[in-house]
Structure 1
């Protein structure tokens, strides 16, 4: 019975209009954020995506305030501009002051998010937030995705992967050894700005589906899960994209079983479950593997300690 229901939901992706677009949009988000999130995790900037997503919120409000329309392209453009500006502000604070990166991220996140909430509250008091649907960007509303939204998200995702493929070697050097890349003549600062811009696009893609608050999970969790299974950057990018896309599709399928269930939180729970499985069962760094390895080492040490005494007893 459960298996029949699963196949019914799965084939609904191909037959049901709403579920198809929700699953496609969620998969695009998962694949894009999963791949690009690897760089934020490896650069130890996991909260950077969180700051960018929160910085995008006032851009949505200002875009709606001036344009007076809920056109997704205009709203995403406003979100992208402010998210990119938030990233630049964070980098400027860390490079020109004695404030460390974690504090700079906290400043950017709180200030921009506070400004965004103020704008949404103002628009709601004038009746604009409900008409424009701006409140859905806080926690996402994947069920509201239509065909044009999915096409726009697909175009943005394709642009991200084109940049990622073209500048893969440069991003790799800037991530693992920026000083060495700078000695070779690579413009590491510009590469950092370009990588930030690509991550901004990934954040903008996620605002429709999981919203501002939960977007950071889609950047960190797939990459952290993939890191448990592979040790190469290319393998990590591919596996992280697979984990992200899979969580998007499965989360969409699960949320479709219950009326009113939000898709974004279910997707985040799904990728969190994948991360938990990876932390437990990965063959190299998993908790169970390390537990049995330590137990085996302890047994070997015990055997080595007991061996000399046994020989001494035989001699006596």
Structure 2
């Protein structure tokens, strides 16, 4: 009986070690997947603050909370099952889907570059409504629709880095990525949109130092928001272009990937690893700008129905 108990304890210890190893695999996989999706995450954080512009400051955090819940629903209810089905039955489709999403990111970034150069938004519209609740619901719905596209790209990028994992580990890792990225992105967004309120509160506090910090925060926020928007555009071009370059390589369409690789390697030998990354990111961004510009040009040539 004692021998049986020892054997049982050995089995439990072995299972515990296996579970711990599995958790380590999941944690490592989730970390790698999150890192690969970082560029799209930056874009997600850069896009969201514009959805609370023009609304009551008292409604900013509740609106961001609604968008965050919608984002989490997008990832866990719709995209996670779709990603697992792809991994199980059509892994060959992951690269084309990634490339399509990358092309969309390039197009969105190219449109923003065109807007900046032309000085006028390409889809400028005026929203006229006397109902604040209706406007809020419209903004939230628009943000969640945009998030669905960005979240799909995040989940597809994450899935592409989990091909060596069992299906259960893929599911857990994707769920971890979904929750962590949603909390991180919308936590940062909430901090950004309330930073001017924090600055005003500090400016009213006694003490010259606090008041100076508060006024500095209020003055800095327009610059910060503009910088975040520009970083978001650069991230879209970099990530979208890089996805397209890697996709071309997967399909053995190698001239462009080889040019990027050779230029990065030349930079590595001359200046080191950081220079290689910068050259690769810059050239990927150039590819993204060209692809996005072509798509935008074609779409602008198509007559629009009114």
Query: Which TM-score applies when normalising by structure 1?
Result: 0.31
Query: Which TM-score applies when normalising by structure 2?
Result: 0.31
